[in-house]
Structures are given as structure tokens and as C-alpha cells.
Amino acid sequence: MSPTLEPIHRLAQGVRVHGPALLSGVPEPHDELMSLVWGPRFDREHAMGLVARQPSVAAHALPALLAAADHFDALHAGAQGRLRRLIVRHRALCAAGASVDEPRGERA
């Protein structure tokens, strides 16, 4: 893996591991992720709100979430932007997959 993409890959791995538990029940998980990384610094306050909604996973997710926050803050602006674009791309792929999976009306 290229040294440029490795930091983003590490962040994505954490989302894959802890994201389903932290984001369960939220209507728009991609929006929640974007709100965490929208600015130049990770939104720790919003992250704590997500953890507070799921106290059963807090013990496992909180250290990883705080490490991800520090890791995101250390990324240069270009890498932060790339991460945001990946989230948007993933949202589009999920939406395309959902529209393919939706039942279609009968044709006349």
C-alpha cells in the first residue's frame, strides 16, 4: 500500500470494526461520519454523543475512536479531503446498491 493511502486505510479499518455498533440506529450513517471529519479537526464532542448512545460498546470503541481522532487531526489537508471524498463515494455506492435491491413494480 502506498505511504500516502496508508493513514486513510488505517482510519477506514477502524470504521469497519467499530462503525456498525456506533452508527446503528442512526438514519444516515454517512452523514454522521462526515460530521466527525467535516472540519480540519475531528469533532470529538459529536463522537462522544455517538458513544453515549451505545454504552454497551463504549468500552471497546472509545479508545479506538479517540485514536482515530488523533490520527485524523495529524493528516494533512489533502488526505483529510480524500477521506471525505471516500465517505461520499461509499454513500453513493450504498445508495446504488439499495436501489438495485429494492423490489420493482410489476411491468404491464
Could you report the average pLDDT of every consecutive run of 10 residues in the chain (108 residues)?
77 85 90 95 94 88 92 93 93 83 48
Residue 100's pLDDT is 58
Packed helices 55-74 and 6-22: angle between N→C axes, nearest 10 degrees: 160
Residue 33's pLDDT is 93
Residue 57's pLDDT is 86
CB 81 within 8 A of CB 99: no
Residue 103's pLDDT is 52
What count of residues does the chain have?
Answer: 108
Residue 27's pLDDT is 92
Q: Which of 27, 31, 37 is nearest to 65 (CA)?
A: 37
Residue 12's pLDDT is 82
